[in-house]
Amino acid sequence: MRTAWNRSLARWAPWLLPGLGLALLVVPLVALARGGGGENYTARDRDSGGGGGSVPIELIYWLLRLTFRYPHVMLPLIGLGVAAWYFYQRNLHPTGATQRAFQQREAEQRTTVSTRDVQGWVNALRLKDPQFELQPLLDRTRQLFLALQDAWFDRDMSPVRPFLSDATYQRFEVQLKLMKDQGVRDAITDIEVMDVQLIGLDQSQWFDTVHLRVKARMRDSEVAASASQAEAVAAAKRAPLEAFTEVWSFVRKPGVQTRIGEDLFQGKCPHCGAPYKGGATNRCEYCNAIVNSGNYDWTLSEITQGIEHVRHYAMVDNLREAREADPALNLEILEDRASLLFWKWIDAQSRGTTKALHKVAAPQAIGRLDEELEGLRQEGRRKVFLECAVGGVITRGFELNPDGFDRAHIEVRWSARLGIGPANERPPALPTVPQRWVFTLLRQHGAQTNTDNGMSTNRCPQCNGPLTESAATTCDYCGAALGSGERDWVLASADPFESWNAREQRRFEAAPQGPRRRNTVRTPAADEAAFARAPGDDVITDPEERQRLLYMMAALAASDGTVDRTERKLLELCARRWSVPWSNVEMALNTGPQLFTRLVQRRTPEAEVFLRNLVEMALVDGRIDRKERRMLEFAAGHLDLSDKLPELLRER
C-alpha cells in the first residue's frame, strides 16, 4: 500500500509541487485586486527578518530543483506563470495605451443612445423649429471641430471665436498662455473626424442644449514654442495615432428658427443674414446682434471628455426663491460666467498679477489673491499650472439677502499639474491632480439677468461692450463701475471644497429657520459621479474624488518632512483599494504640500470635513475593515483629530 502511494506521489509530484509553488506566488497577487483584500501581501512584508522569510527561499529551491529534474514539465509551467504575472501586472498598472483603450470603451458606453431617443429629441426641437434638421447640425459640428483644431495648432483662436461662448473662448486663450509661459506648444496632425452623433437634449425656459458626441483621432505631441509649423508637424508625425471621444454641448434660445444658408458658416449674421466679418466684439455691424450669445444660433458652451459625460438632475438650494427676485435667472448663463471667472482666476495666478480680474471680481477677492501672489514674489517663486482642464461646473445653491447682496455657490471640478517653484525655472514633473473648489459669486439683490447677452458673459452689464484686460475697475467704453456686483455676478471668493463645506456647516447649524429647501432642476453636466453626490450623502464613488483625497493624504504625510515605512504601506493599501496608480501617489509624496494650492490645516473644521470624506470613501463597500481603520487612524493622526474619529465612525 505504501509503495503504491509512493509511486503515485512520484508520478504527480512534478505537477503538484510546481502547482503549489505557483499558487503560493499567485495568491498574494490576486488578493491585491480583491475588495477588502490585500492581507497576504501586507503580512508577508511585515515578516521581514522573522521565520516567515524562509518560505520564499525554500520555494525557490524546489522550483530550481524540479526545473533541472523535469525541464519538459517545469519550463512550460514557468512560462505560463510568467505570462500570467505579466498580464496581471499590466491590468494592475496598465500602460498608457491600455489605459486609453479602457477610457475609450468607457466613453463609448457613456455616450451610446438609442435611435428612438435621437428621433424623440429631433421631434422635440422641430415642435418649435419646423425647419430643424439633424444632419446639417452634425455637419457643422464636424466643420467646427476641424476649424478649432487648426486654430489651436496656429495658437490663434480668433477664427472660431464667433462660435464659442465667452467662457469656452477664455478657456482656450488661457490654456494657450499657460503653454506659452512654459515655452511649449501643442503639435497636432492627421486629424480625422470619424463620427458625430446626437446623444442628448436638455430643454429649459431659456435654452435648448444639444449634446453631440464627436469621435476623432489625431497625432499629438508637445514641442518647443519656438518650433516652426513644419517642425511641429514633423514632431507630431512621429507620435502615435490616437482615438478619443468628446462631447460638445451647444446652446440656443428656444424658438429660434433655423436659417438655411444664412449662418456664420456662410459668413452671415445668424440674426439678420447680413455679411459678418468677425471682430473682437462679436457684434453684427448691421443689426448689432451678439453672434455668440446663443440667442440666434447654436453656440458651443462646453467640451467634456466622453468618459466624464453623464446627464443628471442637480440639487440647487434656494433656486426657486432666487428666481422670484430675478425671473430670468438660469443656470446655463450663471455657470458660463463662473467658468469664465475660473479661467481668469487661473490666468491671474499664472501671470502673477490680478489685473485681468479687476472688472469681474470684488475688491476683497482681489486683495486676498494679491497678498498671496506678493508673498510668492518676495520669495522669488511663482505658481505654474500645466495641463489645466475643467471637468465640470455646477451650481450648489444660493444665499439670498433682500437688504444687500445675494451669493451663488458654484463648484468647479478641475485638474492640473500644479507647481510652485523658482520664477525663472520650469518646475519638475508633477502628477495631474484633481482639484475641487467652490467659487462664490455675489450680486446685488434685485439685479436682473441680461438675457440679451446670453452666453456672451464677458460684457459690461450697462453698455454690453466686451470687457478688456486693463487694470481699470470701470468699463472702457461707458465708464460704468464694475467689480462691485451691483448689476452682474462677480467673484467674491474661491475656496477648496473642505473650507467651503466647513463654513456651510457652521452657517447651517447657526440658521434658526431649520433645514434648507432644495429644488430639483435639470442641468447639463460633465459627470454624474462627480456631482450627483450632495454634501450630505454617505458614499463617495467618483474616481477623481478618490484620487484627490488620496493625493491630499500623501501631501499631509509628507508635510512634516518624513514618511516612515508604515505610512508608505498604508498609502499603498489605499492606492490599491481605490484604483489609483501608486506611481502618482509616490510622486505626490515626493512633491509634498505644494501639490495643492491650499492644504487643509490641522485641527480645523476643514480638517474634519476632509476626515469625514475619508470615512465615506472607506464605506464604499458598506463596511470598514481592520486595514481601512488603520488608514483612517493614520489620517486622523496627521490631522490632529484622533479624538474625533470614533464619533465619525459611530455616525456611520
pLDDT digits (tens, 9 = 90+) for 573-608: 888 888 788 888 888 888 877 777 777 888 888 889
Mean per-residue pLDDT of the chain: 81
Cell numbers of 299, please?
453656440
Q: Are 242 and 104 in contact (CB under 8 A)?
A: no
Report residue 359 as a C-alpha cell. Answer: 472688472
Strands 405-422 and 381-399: antiparallel
Separation between Cα atoms, residue 54 and residue 65, nearest integer Å: 17
The beta strand positions in 273-404, using DSSP E, are: 299-305, 312-317, 381-399
Q: What is the pLDDT of residue 87?
A: 61
Instruction: Say whether pLDDT at 520 is over 50.
Output: no
Instruction: Determine the pLDDT at residue 526.
Output: 33
pLDDT 10s digits, 327-346: 999 999 999 999 999 999 99
Closest by CA position to 316, among listed 508, 510, 491, 535: 535
**Positions of E strands within 400-486:** 405-422, 433-444
C-alpha cell at position 496 = 477648496
- DSSP H or E run through 572: helix 565-577
Residue 112's identity, in one-letter code, is T
Rounded to the nearest angstrom, the gap between the alpha carbon of residue 477 and the centroid of all alpha carbons in its chain is: 37
CB 151 within 8 A of CB 157: yes
Q: What amino acid occupies position 476?
A: D
Helical (H) or strand (E) element with 123 = helix 115-128
Comparing 16-20, 157-161, 166-170, 241-245, the range with the smallest average pLDDT is: 16-20
Are the beta carbons of 235 and 203 closer than 8 angstroms? no
- CB atoms closer than 10 angstroms to residue 568: 16
Quick one: angle between helices 626-638 and 565-577, nearest 10? 120
Other CB atoms closer than 10 Å to residue 260's CB: what's the count? 10
Q: Nearest 5 degrees, angle CA 190-CA 194-CA 197? A: 145
Query: Is the pLDDT confidence value at 448 over 80?
Result: yes
- Residue 489 in this model has a pLDDT that exceeds 50: yes
- Residue that wins the pLDDT comparison between 254 and 586: 254
> Distance between CA atoms of 34 and 541, rounded to whole angstroms?
17
586 vs 187, higher pLDDT: 187
Dist CA 203 CA 125 (whole Å): 9
CB–CB of 366/482 below 8 Å?
A: no
CA distance 372 to 544: 27
If pLDDT is split at 50, 70 and 90, which confidence band does 4 have? Answer: very low
> What pLDDT band is residue 310 in, cutting at 50, 70 and 90?
low
pTM confidence score: 0.77
